[in-house]
Amino acid sequence: MRKSLVLFFAAAMMLPIGVITAQPAGAAPIITCLHAKGTFKFTPPLPITGPGVKSTLTSSGSVYGCTGKGGASGHTSFKSNPPTTKSSCATLAHPSATGTKGTLTIKWVNGKTSVAKGFVVKQQSDLVDATTTGKITSGAFVGKLIKGVVRFTLNKGACSTKPASGGTYVNKKGTKFTVG
């Protein structure tokens, strides 16, 4: 579950994700999207205290303002792998160093779909940003890498007056979502 929590931070998109990529010369991204946003959810919600629960992280969102080969906007969805450990609000403050793994799906408006199994969301040290990365395993752009950085916000009162059920995310200011 700890891994699922980390994914939540990046979720997003899981999701639609803002990305900064450093690629070698000649390896420009195929698609660059200026915007990503969406929502994420913990099922069941993470309790404020106690031993925690085995919770799944899901997200739904969009990427838009895209340019490049097949550079259309798209709908994103993410679902974490089944949790193996329990998590609570305390886990959000101490995420797993390896991140949360799951499957990211992008349904592009041109009718094509990209799926990245083994997609990883890894919370950064500032605890509000997460890096996301994964290799497309089926559909459009197979073998290409998806990268992004998202900033997440928990629902109001989460982890202070009520369990963490989810929230929203956007790409971090100054970053882009890329496929390349």
Query: Do 158 and 89 form a contact (C-beta atoms < 8 A)?
Result: yes
Hey, which bits of the chain come out as E strands? 31-46, 56-68, 74-80, 100-108, 113-123, 129-135, 138-139, 145-154, 164-171, 177-179
Q: Which residue has the higher pLDDT, 177 or 104?
A: 104
Range of the domain at 25: 2-179
Structure tokens, 82: 């089944």
Q: Which residue has the higher pLDDT, 44 or 8?
A: 44
**Structure confidence at residue 70 (pLDDT):** 64
What region does 127 belong to: left with phi over 0, alpha with psi -120 to 50, or beta? left
Give the up-direction half-sphere exposure of residue 16: CA atoms within 13 A in the CB hemisphere. 26
Residue with tokens 């992008």: 106
**Structure confidence at residue 18 (pLDDT):** 36
Give the up-direction half-sphere exposure of residue 79: CA atoms within 13 A in the CB hemisphere. 4
Helix, coil or strand: residue 36: strand
Burial class (CB in 10 A: 0-12, 13-18, 19+), 72: middle
Residue-wise pLDDT tens digits, 139-171: 999 999 999 999 999 999 999 999 999 999 999
Average pLDDT over residues 40-44: 97
Global model pTM greater than 0.85: no
Average pLDDT over residues 113-123: 93
**Structure confidence at residue 150 (pLDDT):** 94
Residue with tokens 């329990």: 86
**Structure confidence at residue 38 (pLDDT):** 97
Average pLDDT over residues 116-140: 91
Task: Tell me how many domains the chain contains.
Answer: 1
Q: Which of 13, 42, 23 is nearest to 133 (CA)?
A: 13
Q: Which residue has the higher pLDDT, 71 or 30?
A: 30
Q: Would you say residue 32 has pLDDT above 60? A: yes
**Structure confidence at residue 26 (pLDDT):** 46
Residue-wise pLDDT tens digits, 44-99: 999 999 889 999 999 999 999 999 876 679 999 999 999 998 999 988 888 878 88
